[in-house]
Amino acid sequence: MAPANPSAAPATPPKGATAVLILADGTILWGVGFGAAGAGVGEICFNTSMTGYQEILTDPSYAGQIITFTFPHIGNVGVNSEDMERDRRGGIGCITREMPTMPSNFRSEQTLPEWMTAQGLIGISGIDTRALTRRIRDAGAPNGVIAHSPDGIFDLDELLAKARGWSGLEGSDLAKDVSRHDVGTWTGGIWTLGEGYADSDAAGRPHVVAMDFGGKHSIFRALVDAGARVTVVPAKTPLADILALEPAGVFLSNGPGDPAATGEYAVPVIQALLDKDVPIFGICLGHQLLALAAGAQTIKMHQGHRGANHPVQRAEDGKVEITSMNHGFAVDAATLPSGVVETHKSLFDGSNCGLAFTNKKAFSVQYHPEARPGPQDSFYLFERFVSDLTA
């Protein structure tokens, strides 16, 4: 429904428009809404994955973001209760080229629009997602508002003011909002067709305490599959409480927002764990927090990395892993101190994708090894971490 040139969209809604996307620069994009009615403000990003839209929409790392799906067939396999990465939505909503069609998959339990309505996720279809993606690529990820009103009535001035008034992701600690609020024992391993999620016997397994900054369930399942017993704790858990659980190692999860803001309370805890030589493994936000604890710096990326086809090169042997990524901040490799080395880098733009301490059992990666786009390229990271706990 939107024209090829997004900036040329009319301020008056065209016939049949029930949703609108307004960028902070005043650009207006009209479309047809689906999912929940209402309005939400966030950073507009794009994801190039061809599968996994349900996992993406329930990934807490997308808090504060509106996701543009570049793949046109979103909704084609429906939604089911087993593929949730958390028990609630992650992002604000999504942008698609086509209206989601009726699903065709034996595992489907709901259509995508039905599920999004229940989750409070707002959708807009009919957008030229290629043009919008090019705009984000060239000018960076903008702030904006997505709104869906079945009657097609919108207060454009109010929505534009909301887009322009939002402070953005930089400087925002969103991990505290998506973290669990209590300590819990994680059960369940990797999913297999016909069997569901594997049961795990905790006896004799090394104990991993996972700090939840917005962790995906599949990460905790991968730790179990690699041989760990997992306890998940809130993001702001004090050091004494973590040590009282007698961890063999500590895992730092993924999550949303600016790592420097989250680091105000997380970094001192991580530094103390490093001082006590507790083995540590971090993913995504956890990677960035480990870098900050080491004394490095993080930076806001121009457009971020979000997709399931990102090639990452391993420094130790030159091997290339195909990875899944979702991040808008990155570790500045030039600021890594002595005693910390870069272990992986992106072959798209050369940005840092991994680090390791040379004198401690502590390492991290920027990508998501549990997502398995390779599909098994990166599972060794979980195995390496668990083996460190018993060495």
Dist CA 115 CA 150 (whole Å): 17
Helices 217-225 and 380-390 pack at an angle, to 10 degrees, of 60
Whether residue 261 contacts residue 231, with contact meaning beta carbons closer than 8 Å, is answered with no
Residues present in the chain in total: 391
Cα 71 to the center of its chain, rounded Å? 18
The SS3 call for residue 262 is helix
368 is catalytic: yes
Is 94 labeled as catalytic in the residue annotation?
Answer: no
Marked catalytic residue, from 55, 85, 321, 370: 370
Q: Give ∠ CA 111-115-118 in degrees, rounded to 5.
A: 150
Q: Are 357 and 340 in contact (CB under 8 A)?
A: yes
| Cross-strand partners of 229 | 207
- Measure the CA–CA gap between 321 and 368, rounded to whole angstroms: 11
93-95 and 207-212: which strand pairing?
unpaired
45 is catalytic: no
Contact by Cβ (8 Å): 382, 222: yes
Catalytic residue among 45, 94, 148, 284: 284
From CA 286, how far away is CA 254, in angstroms rounded? Answer: 5
CB 284 within 8 A of CB 367: yes
Report the catalytic residues: 284, 368, 370
